[in-house]
Structure 1
Amino acid sequence: MWNTVNEQISQAMHFDFKHTSKRQLQSPNSDKLFQISDGTHQYFVKVAHRNDLERFESEAHNLQLLIKESLFMVPDCITTGASIEFSFIVLEWLELDQQPHSNWHIMGSHLACLHLKHRQAMFGFDHDNFIGPTAQPNRWHKKWNIFFAEERIGWQLQLLHEKGIELVDKDYFVAFIKDMLHSHSVQPSLLHGDFWRGNMGFIHSVPSIFDPSCYYGDREVDIAMSELFAPLPDAFYIAYNKHYPLSQGYEQRKLIYQLYPILNHANIFAGHYLTEAKQQIERLLK
């Protein structure tokens, strides 16, 4: 496989590349992560099963869109490809600053600037993609409440159903979510889609984001996600609200939007995330 990686980097970069060092990095999931170098040029390589090539190609497309549309430092995708057994994506190597950092207000203003671009009239995306390893459907919808209820909550509940897990009656709960979001007025924004602390950082003090799951939706989804697992420093939220204040009722909608990543974790990891998902559903139904 590594000969294929070297060849494709050489073709993409227009010089002969052959790595002389390869260092495996810690991975939060089943992907294998590597830093490779020829002594002069460094790259970040993700490796997975051959069947994951579509996921890597989707990531490359999402990264290119964020490079085009945002002020964030986003890693360039050098190439994607596959061998007989494995698939891979090669990204520009970006060295993240050590935490803690003092520029969270810039992270907040950059996200607000991305969300303030309302260039799409509908909710969805040009193609389906992934959130982590999970397929993420993005059929276009005119109404946000229908999109989020069906393409996000309903989809995750269906995946659990296929595993024999019933947290709630799917049809009833999808209808409930549609009703809960019915009166919420939304202009579509380009979302990162998986905006939590593990998918962001700083490079020479410049905010950087990566591992996107992009689509056009309610900007509050990114904010709600950022508050779920490890809330960001207050400076981030103060700066975001200064540039693009959150709408009334966000605190109630946040519980709905946070259910999506909780359900996704329940599908991936099961365990205590199933309990957490059940509790979140019961909290919403009260």
Structure 2
Amino acid sequence: MWHFISDHVSQAKHREFICDSVKPLHQQHECASYQIRSGDQRYFAKIRTGTHQKSERDTAQLHAEADSLNALRCSDSFKVPEVICVGWCDEETVSYEYLILEFVGFKPPSNALWKHAGEALATLHKHPPKGTTDYGWPTDNWVGSTPQFNKTNAHWRDFYFNQRLKPLLDALHAQDKLRELSLEDAFELTHVLHSHQPTPCLLHGDLWRGNLGFTRSHVVVFDPAVYVGDREIDLAMARLFQGFASSFFEAYAATWPLNEGVERRLPLYQLYPMLNHLLLFGDTYRAQVLALLEECRAH
């Protein structure tokens, strides 16, 4: 596998790369990440292992991640790791999907960088892809190992229910993990979006603290699941798992003030990632999901 990846990196960078060092960094779901080196060159490698052969591939999770990263790079807001190459490698009955990125070393953030992060997010949201009028994305992608569906829709409430809440509830109901929320009840929860048609914004899509990093002078985002939607989605995610400095939110609001009713929509927007966590990790997140449902019903 590493020989195949070395050849692809060499072609992409027009410079010989022979992987002579592989340092494991992180393992999550079916993906593992590494720092790979060749002399003075080093890159970040993300590897997804499957058992399907080329003719049977039905997912391209890391290809979708590369697409998301390139979309964010075009926004010229955050620093986004450069996509070096993305591809497949087959070895007998095992297939590897790989994504090779520019390697970025992180440092603890200063308060000034936290403010810059808030400003950068507002800048990202202010500059969606040209010609964008509907919500969604040309292709589907993934949040963790969960498919995220992005069929475009001109109506935000319809998009959020049909492309976000319904697929997760269908999966949870199939596994008997959430009897407390029917599809009909979930649609009723979206009444707070009835007359809410937000400005279509390019979203990171999975903006928790683990997907944000800092160098000495830059704010870096990675692991996105981009689509065009309500900018409050990214802010709700940032607030859900905490870890973001208050100056981040203050700088965002100073750059682009939030719309009236944001607090009423907050629990509904946080419900989507929490349902995903319940699907992926089970009852550990059950109490938090039920608490969010109560908040949604209160609005």
Task: Specify if TM > 0.5.
Answer: yes
How far does residue 2 in structure 1 lie from its aligned partner after superposition? 0.9
Q: Which position in structure 2 is the counterpart of 1:250?
A: 262
Structure 1 CA distance, aligned partners of 2:262 and 2:243?
16
Q: Which position in structure 1 is the counterpart of 2:295?
A: 283
Structure 2 CA distance, aligned partners of 1:160 and 1:100?
40
How far does residue 231 in structure 1 lie from its aligned partner after superposition? 4.1
Q: Which position in structure 2 is the counterpart of 1:15?
A: 15
Structure 1 CA distance, aligned partners of 2:217 and 2:28?
24
How far does residue 47 in structure 1 lie from its aligned partner after superposition? 1.1
How far does residue 22 in structure 1 lie from its aligned partner after superposition? 1.2
Contact kept? 2:140, 2:151, Cα under 8 Å? yes
Structure 1 CA distance, aligned partners of 2:251 and 2:142?
29
Which of these residues, 79, 90, 105, is aligned with residue 100 of structure 2? 90
How far does residue 139 in structure 1 lie from its aligned partner after superposition? 0.5
Contact kept? 2:240, 2:270, Cα under 8 Å? yes
Counterpart of 1:41, as a letter, is Q
Q: Which position in structure 2 is the counterpart of 1:68?
A: 74
How far does residue 283 in structure 1 lie from its aligned partner after superposition? 2.9
How far does residue 170 in structure 1 lie from its aligned partner after superposition? 2.9
- In structure 2, stretches of 5+ residues that fail to align are none
Bigger shift: 231-240 or 260-269?
A: 231-240
Alignment of 1:164-243 (within 5 A): 164-243=176-255
Which of these residues, 104, 108, 114, is aligned with residue 114 of structure 2? 104
Question: For residues 148-178 of structure 1, what are the alpha-carbon distances to aligned partners after superposition, in whole Å with 9 as ceiling and x for unaligned?
Answer: 1111111111111121223334321232133
- In structure 1, stretches of 5+ residues that fail to align are none
Q: Which position in structure 2 is the counterpart of 1:40?
A: 40
Structure 2 CA distance, aligned partners of 1:171 and 1:30?
29
Counterpart of 1:58, as a letter, is A
- How many corresponding residue pairs? 286
Segments of 4+ in structure 1 off by > 6 A? none
Contact kept? 1:158, 1:170, Cα under 8 Å? no
How far does residue 20 in structure 1 lie from its aligned partner after superposition? 1.4
Counterpart of 1:103, as a letter, is L
TM-score normalized by the length of structure 1: 0.95
How far does residue 110 in structure 1 lie from its aligned partner after superposition? 0.6
